[in-house]
Amino acid sequence: MTAILEKVNADKGKIESHFHYLHQNPGVAFEEQTAATYIAGKLREWGYEVTEGIGKTGVVGQLKVGDGKARIGLRADTDALPVQEGSDLPYKSKIEGKSHMCGHDAHSAMLLGAAEYLAKTKNFNGTLNVIFQPAEEVMAGAPAMIADGLFEKFPMDVIFGMHNMPGLPVGKLHFTGGPIMAAVDNWEIELTGVGSHGSMPEKSIDPLVAGAALVMSLQTIVSRNVAPMDAAVVSVGAFLAGNAGNVIPQNAILRMSTRTRKPETRQMVLDKIRSITKATAEAYNVKFEIREGQPGAILINDEANTDKCIDIARQVLGDDNVVTPGPTFMGSEDFAFYAQKVPGVYCFVGNGDTPNVHHPMYVFDQKNLPVGAAYWVAVAEAYLK
């Protein structure tokens, strides 16, 4: 066991207490005030200059040591999900219908553990920014912090992120340079026709039938336009139309999510959605409106910095606990928006054979807490020499 990991392990009880408190007090997107207050209080206690309210409920702690010019950011997410926790843990969520079924509480706890260690040892020379970001689950927290001037107020040369991943071996860090997570685009399409009594369909312009045709037509985008070696997903997750079996509704709403891994594929898929929707609406004589959400971004790891982080991780955790290249995922992460502004490195820590993130029975493996904290310490000390 390396010196850093040994010292962090000695303080793992503190990291666990952060984790338990945050787990018991979840807040969904932009409602993470309890976590923000707790985090800000701890950072101030350790000597950080703390800024609250960046991106509504985001917190940034800054610690400058020496005269070094290097500046880095370590980022954790703080938001929970609107999911009722299924496990009966001794530290289970106290908030009905809200829980940390993705491990963001653990990500924040690991970063708090590293932040305290670095504040005490000050074994670096430069500027450390620890970033606690809200609303990752809705892909809105990173854009909100950027819009609030994150990089202008806290300039960084490189930024780092981490996420736990069920299905990967516990305690092992996984790194891959280049694209590692897909862009997500969440859109809503509303079709408007003319309602009528179910016995007189000839007097209607039926948006439900048009919507059904649209759902099926959208499924041809990937199967007939995306090369098998590429990857994309077009999913309609909600189809809202009518309430009674004998009433033809006036409106139908489709809510959908697309995932793409290449900029050119993303543009093609979105253009196809627009053109197919327009053509279907014309064919069925309904009006349509497409409401586009936050534009998606592909998470791309900076190659050179990823290689450097692989070496750092091997030094602090050992060769056997670092996997490269690691897996890539069609899931999405708003860390991608940071990586568009400055070089970024995002890795995964294995959570073992557990239910997947977002599942009511998901449980974060606490053996990962010192692993993540030790990695963050090692990154800070290596980049801020």
All structural domains of the chain: 3-181+298-383 (3.40.630.10), 183-292 (3.30.70.360)
Predicted pLDDT of residue 1: 64
Tens digits of residue pLDDT in 40-70? 999 999 999 999 999 999 999 999 999 999 9
pLDDT in tens, 106-129: 999 999 999 999 999 999 999 999
Closest CA to 313 of 383, 253, 246: 383
Mean pLDDT for 16-38 is: 98
The pLDDT-based confidence of 25 (bands split at 50, 70, 90) is very high
Q: Annotated binding residue at 104? A: yes
Is 358 labelled as part of a ligand binding site? yes
Model confidence at 327, in pLDDT bands (50, 70, 90)?
A: very high
For the residues 127-145, what does the mean pLDDT come to? Answer: 97
Whether 208 contacts 248, CB under 8 Å:
yes
Q: What is the mean pLDDT of residues 143-162?
A: 98
- The answer on whether 23 is annotated among ligand-binding residues is no
Q: What is the pLDDT of residues 169-226, one digit of tens each?
A: 999 999 999 999 999 999 999 999 999 999 999 999 999 999 999 999 999 999 999 9
Residues contacting 269, CB < 8 A, separation 6+? 221, 222, 225, 226, 232, 234, 258, 260
- Contact status, residue 286 vs residue 205, Cβ threshold 8 Å: yes
Determine whether 267 is exposed, middle or buried from the number of CB atoms within 10 Å of its CB (0-12, 13-18, 19+).
exposed
Q: Where are the beta strands (DSSP E) in the chain?
A: 49-54, 58-65, 71-77, 126-133, 158-165, 173-174, 178-181, 183-192, 196-197, 232-240, 247-248, 251-260, 287-292, 299-301, 322-323, 344-350
Residue 102 in marked binding region: yes
The pTM of this model reads 0.93
How far CA 107 is from CA of 104, 184, 228, in Å, comes to: 5, 22, 35
Which residue, 173, 156, 145, is CA-closest to 77? 145
Per-chain mean pLDDT for the chain: 97
- The whole-angstrom separation of Cα 142 and Cα 150 is 9
Nearest residue to 332 (alpha-carbon basis) of 175, 183, 167: 183
The dihedral over CA atoms of 335, 302, 74, 380, expressed in degrees to the nearest 10, equals 170
Radius of gyration over every alpha carbon of the chain, rounded to an integer in angstroms:
23
In sequence order, what are the beta bridge partners of 197?
Answer: 247
User: Residue 2 pLDDT > 90, yes or no?
Assistant: no
